[in-house]
Amino acid sequence: AAATPALPWRPQATRSALLAAAATVSSNPFIPQLLVDQLLAGYETAAEQASALTDYYNQMEEKGLEQHGGNIARADINGLFKEILANPQAFGLTNTVGMACPPGVSASACSSAMPGFNASQDYLFADHLHPGPQVHTIIAQYIQSIIAAPVQATYLNQSVQSMAQGSRTTLDSRYQQLRQGENPVGSLGMFGGYSGGDQRYVNNEAAGNGEHNNLTVGVDDQRT
């Protein structure tokens, strides 16, 4: 099948592939065209029904999970596939219509060394049903991101907490200075402090670092 760099290319690539296959049935140009029109009409109907059933199943699954309570995050693989179909190049794919394995060969029995294997493009599907290894990697990364996201989100406030701690340290230092020697009554005093650093966080699935720079400037007035 021809490359499908974006969703609008899929219908034309599908039609071209079907025309090439139907041309082997008859030399009469009208017969392949008639066959393709019938096949495409049936395909579009089946695709719409399959999409509706998938959405319905996912909705029922979410409702069922909600009844058990708890914090359950469902991996929306169907939504991920829609993103891939809309922009396959962003996921490193060039074809979302064809398949890499020879026709009739299951992905479980297929290898790149097999005669008839198509390595000319990066396919969404390995066979007529199963995604290829590259797409399985994308799915695994997506699921891993769901699991790791809550932990990684907790690190977002680490730099803010470090900045707040730096400001408190500056204020504590100023209070200690005033305890040791008060300023003259009616006088104004200025103080400031800087803190900064790079903190690294490592915790199983989550890793990162936080950089912070904090400047605290203040004025105090000695009243008594």
Q: CB under 8 Å to 132, separation ≥6 — which residues? A: 100, 107, 122, 123, 124, 125, 126
Distance between CA atoms of residues 83 and 91, nearest Å: 9
Q: Could you tell me if 100 and 62 lie in one domain?
A: yes
Q: Is residue 54 part of a domain?
A: yes
Q: Is residue 218 a contact partner of residue 174, using CB atoms and an 8 Å limit?
A: yes
pLDDT digits (tens, 9 = 90+) for 140-161: 999 999 988 887 777 777 777 8
Per-residue pLDDT at 195: 83
Q: What does DSSP say about strands 206-221 and 95-99: parallel, antiparallel, or unpaired?
A: unpaired
pLDDT bin (cut points 50, 70, 90) of residue 209 is low
Q: Is residue 126 part of a domain?
A: yes
**pLDDT surpasses 90 at 28:** no
Q: Could you tell me if 125 and 165 lie in one domain?
A: no
Q: Could you tell me if 106 and 168 lie in one domain?
A: no
- State which H helix or E strand residue 189 sits in: strand 188-203
Count H helices and E strands in the chain, helices first.
5, 4
pLDDT bin (cut points 50, 70, 90) of residue 184 is confident
**pLDDT surpasses 60 at 206:** no
Distance between CA atoms of residues 62 and 54, nearest Å: 12
Q: Is residue 149 part of a domain?
A: no
Q: What is the DSSP letter of 220?
A: E
Residue 148 has phi, psi (to 5 degrees) of -85, -20
Q: Is residue 142 part of a domain?
A: no
What are 126's two structure tokens? 């390995």
Q: Could you tell me if 24 and 127 lie in one domain?
A: yes
Mean pLDDT of the chain: 86
- Percent of the chain topping pLDDT 90: 34
Q: Could you tell me if 27 and 126 lie in one domain?
A: yes
Q: Could you tell me if 40 and 126 lie in one domain?
A: yes
Q: CB under 8 Å to 32, separation ≥6 — which residues? A: 19, 22, 23, 25, 26
Full domain range(s) for residue 25 = 9-131
The pTM for the full model equals 0.65
pLDDT bin (cut points 50, 70, 90) of residue 139 is very high
**Most confident of the following: 138-152, 158-172, 185-199:** 138-152
Q: What string of DSSP letters covers 194-219?
A: EEEEEEEEEETTEEEEEEEEEEEEEE
Q: Is residue 150 part of a domain?
A: no
Per-residue pLDDT at 127: 95
Q: Is residue 214 a contact partner of residue 194, using CB atoms and an 8 Å limit?
A: yes
Q: Could you tell me if 75 and 113 lie in one domain?
A: yes
Per-residue pLDDT at 12: 85
pLDDT bin (cut points 50, 70, 90) of residue 202 is low
Placement of tokens 């209070």 in the chain: 175
**Most confident of the following: 102-111, 164-173, 213-222:** 102-111
- Structural domains in the chain (count): 2
Distance between CA atoms of residues 189 and 47, nearest Å: 75
Per-residue pLDDT at 89: 93
Q: Is residue 81 a contact partner of residue 58, using CB atoms and an 8 Å limit?
A: no
Q: Could you tell me if 101 and 167 lie in one domain?
A: no
- Over range 150-175, report the average pLDDT: 82
Q: Is residue 140 part of a domain?
A: no
Q: Could you tell me if 116 and 185 lie in one domain?
A: no
pLDDT bin (cut points 50, 70, 90) of residue 56 is very high
**pLDDT surpasses 70 at 1:** no
Q: Could you tell me if 121 and 19 lie in one domain?
A: yes
Q: What does DSSP say about strands 206-221 and 188-203: parallel, antiparallel, or unpaired?
A: antiparallel
Distance between CA atoms of residues 220 and 174, nearest Å: 10
Q: Could you tell me if 18 and 91 lie in one domain?
A: yes
